[in-house]
């Protein structure tokens, strides 16, 4: 019997649709209980949708609307993800942030933002004057009137976060079903089993969690609901060369508006500097290309924020789509009579809040009658490969290279990615399915040349799964503790 045929006859206790950060976190938590769990993803890799292209900030939640579900879950998620990052090796840098006021109206808003932070339980913000702003950020453009410090804001690797959660879910026993785009939903009222029709066969489950991001409203419609509409909101960003990093040692935030946090300047985990995002509502849910108008907008913003930054080399541009909805808060609701739970409207704060959203979802499922008995044999969390610049990378680790020379053979010189890392990514519990997946796992082809010099060799190693790297056995696999 084929795998798809076996799945068509098997019934999972619960299926989670969407293997972004939120869906992967939910599947991970569920798989820590005596349940059979399926994580169903339309794409060929985890984290290949909205979750891969965001501003990669670990938020304190200082500026969330007090009293909302989002504010509570972001604050809780900040602690949960921070602890999980320590445990798994997800790269995090506690840079802090500075909110900059550029006019009298923004300056007058700073006390209210400080009060909002305190209402959200964050009490470390301080209002500072222009002289202190420029003392912290000498490269800032002229005209800043004051600022609000947010010491707890941090930068994080969104790619490793998603991969860690997905790997953890798999190692706990969840079935990771990639390339399974859900096309229809039907429920047998007699058995209480829902069938998800997908491109690669049916998936059957007693409960379904919809964490489908940009497609969450469409899945919700398949269950007979009409309660929200997702509007893809494109955010374009510039990534500057690592030589720009001395200009920016912390996150530089604008005074937020109703449309979002606005354009920021931020260091990245990988040693670069990022400028963006734009905010453009679209109708096409696949429009992740950059645009001439977006570039012009960012250049104008950058000229005011930090003109010296624009003299540095741009090494990459990219765009991501956020799942904006016509609702003022996260939309997380259970429909027990359908064995169905919606997780919708999770904006960019979903990176920070993901693990807290999973915790909240499990509470709702328990309230709805799903038996949640914690397993006694939960394996330890995976220890992820480090692709951040703040700590030792494999090419810098003499002992590791002595034990396995593949970690000393650099393939991508821009990002210092080695054959050993590519081999490990090919043999991991969730292996790289393609070049983009390999890029997210190792940083290969992510530097100045964007794969011009290393792309052919990286592609060859992916095709051979690193078999000719001088190590016959992939003993240091990603995800092994």
The residues annotated as belonging to the active site are: 59
Encoding tokens for residue 94? 């506690």
Count of CA atoms in the C-beta half-sphere (13 A) of 22 = 31
Using DSSP, state whether 397 is helix, strand or coil. coil
CA-CA distance, 157 to 274, in Å (whole number)? 13
Encoding tokens for residue 308? 């010296």
Encoding tokens for residue 448? 């100045």
CA-CA distance, 210 to 265, in Å (whole number)? 33
- 92 forms beta bridges with 156
Strand order in the sheet with 57-58: 57-58, 154-156, 92-93
CA-CA distance, 12 to 202, in Å (whole number)? 12
Q: What are phi and psi of 98, to 5 degrees?
A: -130, 120
88-102 core/surface letters (b: 16 or more CB in 10 A; e: else) = bbbbbbebbbbbbbb
* CB proximity list for 39: less than 8 A, separation 6 or greater: 15, 16, 19, 23, 24, 27, 46, 166, 169, 174, 175, 176, 177
CA-CA distance, 256 to 198, in Å (whole number)? 40
Q: State the Cα angle at 329 between 327 and 335, rounded to 5°.
A: 85
Instruction: Count CB neighbours of 193 within 10 A.
Output: 16
Q: Backbone dihedral region of 358: left (phi > 0), alpha (psi from -120 to 50 degrees) or beta? A: alpha
Contact 233, 324 (CB under 8 A): yes
Among 134, 127, 118, 124, smallest CA distance to 148 is for: 127
Encoding tokens for residue 155? 């930068």
CA-CA distance, 168 to 172, in Å (whole number)? 6
Encoding tokens for residue 413? 């010189």
Can the peptide bond before residue 481 be classed as cis, meaning omega within 30 degrees of 0?
Answer: no
């Amino acid at each position: 019997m084929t795998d798809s045929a076996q799945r068509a006859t098997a019934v999972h206790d619960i299926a989670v649709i969407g293997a972004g950060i939120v869906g992967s976190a939910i599947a991970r938590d569920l798989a820590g209980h005596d349940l059979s769990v399926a994580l169903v993803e339309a794409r060929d890799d985890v984290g290949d949708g909205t979750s891969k292209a965001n501003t990669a900030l670990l938020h304190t939640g200082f500026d969330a609307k007090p009293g909302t579900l989002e504010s509570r879950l972001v604050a809780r998620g900040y602690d949960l993800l921070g602890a999980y990052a320590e445990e798994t090796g997800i790269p995090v840098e506690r840079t802090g942030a500075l909110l900059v006021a550029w006019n009298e109206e923004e300056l007058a808003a700073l006390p209210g933002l400080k009060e909002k932070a305190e209402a959200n339980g964050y009490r470390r913000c301080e209002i500072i004057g222009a002289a202190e702003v420029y003392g912290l950020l000498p490269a800032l453009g002229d005209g800043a009137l004051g600022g609000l410090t947010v010491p707890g804001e941090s930068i994080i690797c969104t790619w490793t976060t998603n991969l860690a959660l997905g790997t953890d879910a798999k190692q706990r026993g969840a079935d990771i079903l990639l390339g399974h785009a859900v096309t229809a939903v039907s429920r047998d009222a007699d058995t209480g089993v829902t069938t998800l029709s997908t491109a690669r066969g049916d998936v059957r489950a007693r409960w379904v969690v919809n964490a489908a991001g940009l497609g969450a409203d469409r899945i919700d419609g398949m269950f007979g609901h009409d309660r929200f509409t997702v509007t893809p909101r494109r955010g374009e960003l510039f990534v500057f060369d690592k030589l720009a990093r001395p200009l920016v040692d912390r996150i530089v935030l604008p005074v937020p508006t109703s449309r979002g946090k606005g354009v920021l300047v931020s260091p990245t985990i990988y040693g670069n500097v990022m400028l963006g995002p734009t905010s453009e509502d679209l109708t096409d849910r696949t429009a992740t290309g950059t645009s001439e108008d977006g570039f012009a907008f960012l250049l104008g913003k950058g000229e005011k924020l930090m003109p010296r930054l624009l003299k540095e080399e741009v090494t990459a541009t990219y765009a991501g789509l956020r799942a904006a909805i016509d609702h003022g808060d996260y939309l997380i609701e259970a429909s027990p009579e359908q064995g169905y739970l919606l997780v919708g409207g999770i904006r960019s704060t979903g990176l920070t809040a993901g693990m807290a959203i999973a915790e909240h979802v499990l509470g709702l499922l328990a309230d709805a009658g799903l038996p949640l008995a914690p397993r006694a044999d939960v394996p330890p969390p995976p220890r992820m490969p480090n692709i951040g610049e703040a700590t030792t990378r494999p090419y810098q680790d003499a002992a590791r290279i002595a034990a396995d020379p593949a970690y000393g053979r650099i393939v991508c010189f821009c990002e210092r990615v080695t054959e050993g890392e590519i081999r490990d990514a090919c043999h991991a519990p969730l292996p790289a399915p393609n070049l983009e997946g390999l890029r997210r796992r190792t940083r290969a082809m992510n530097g100045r040349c964007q794969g011009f010099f290393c792309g052919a060799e990286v592609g060859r190693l992916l095709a051979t799964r690193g078999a000719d790297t001088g190590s016959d056995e992939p003993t240091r696999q990603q995800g092994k503790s």
